[in-house]
C-alpha cells in the first residue's frame, strides 16, 4: 500500500493537524488518515529528515515498525489511497534475531557517523534496548562482555549528546570489537 498526499496548509493549521494526530495516537493507539485506520505499536523507529535542494526545503517525519510483531491492521477507504510502510523495526524475540538486529542497527549508526551526521536519538535508544535484550538472553560467562557492551553503548550515546563524532566513531569501533570477541567466544 502507498499513501501520499500533498496540500498547501498554513503553519497554524499544520500545528492543529499534528495536535489532532497526536491526540488520537495517545488516546487510541491509532491514526486515521483519509479514512484509512493505522494501528500503531507501543514502540517504533522514527526518522526526521530535513533537506534544502534547488530552492526548496523538505522536512519529513517517518515512522517504521514490524508488522508481524505488532499485529498492525489497515482499513482502506474506497479509492486509491494507501499507506507506505518501510522496513519494520521492533525488538526481536530470540537470541539470533537480537544479534542480527544489533548488527543492522550498529551498521546504520556507523554509516550515519561516517557520513558526518549524528545518529537519531531513537536509533540510540533502540541500540540500548537491543543491548539490554542481548544481555538478558546471554549466558552467565558472557556477562563481562555484556557489561562492556553496555558501558560502550552509554559512552557512544554520551559522545553523540555532546556532538563529538570522532569519539562516537571510536565508541562504534569499540562496540563492534566487543561484538566480534563475543561472536568468536560463542563459536
pTM for the structure as a whole: 0.51
Give the C-alpha separation, 106 to 102, whole Å: 6
Instruction: Kindly state the average pLDDT of the residues 32-50.
Output: 77
The candidate with the shortest Cα–Cα distance to 176, out of 98, 103, 101, is 103
Q: Does 134 score more than 90 pLDDT?
A: no
At 91, is the pLDDT very low, low, confident or very high (cuts 50, 70, 90)? low
**Which domains, from first to last, does the chain contain?**
11-75 (no CATH), 95-186 (1.20.120)
CA–CA distance from 37 to each of 11, 85, 152, 169 (Å)?
A: 25, 13, 41, 41
Amino acid at each position: 500500500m502507498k499513501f501520499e498526499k500533498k496540500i498547501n496548509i498554513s503553519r497554524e493549521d499544520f500545528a492543529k493537524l499534528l495536535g489532532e494526530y497526536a491526540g488520537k495516537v495517545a488516546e487510541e493507539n491509532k491514526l486515521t488518515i483519509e479514512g484509512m485506520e493505522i494501528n500503531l505499536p507501543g514502540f517504533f523507529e522514527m526518522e526526521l529528515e530535513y533537506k534544502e535542494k534547488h530552492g526548496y526545503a523538505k522536512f519529513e517525519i517517518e515512522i517504521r515498525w514490524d508488522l508481524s510483531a505488532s499485529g498492525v491492521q489497515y482499513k482502506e477507504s474506497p479509492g486509491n489511497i494507501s499507506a507506505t510502510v518501510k522496513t519494520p523495526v521492533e525488538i526481536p524475540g530470540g537470541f539470533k534475531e537480537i544479534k542480527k538486529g544489533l548488527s543492522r542497527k550498529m551498521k546504520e549508526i556507523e554509516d550515519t557517523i561516517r557520513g558526518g551526521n549524528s545518529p537519531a536519538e531513537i536509533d540510540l535508544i533502540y541500540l540500548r534496548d537491543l543491548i539490554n535484550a542481548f544481555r538478558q538472553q546471554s549466558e552467565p560467562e558472557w556477562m563481562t562482555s555484556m557489561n562492556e557492551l553496555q558501558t560502550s553503548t552509554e559512552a557512544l550515546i554520551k559522545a553523540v549528546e555532546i556532538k563529538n563524532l570522532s569519539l562516537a566513531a571510536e565508541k562504534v569501533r569499540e562496540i563492534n570489537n566487543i561484538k566480534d570477541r563475543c561472536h568468536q567466544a560463542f563459536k
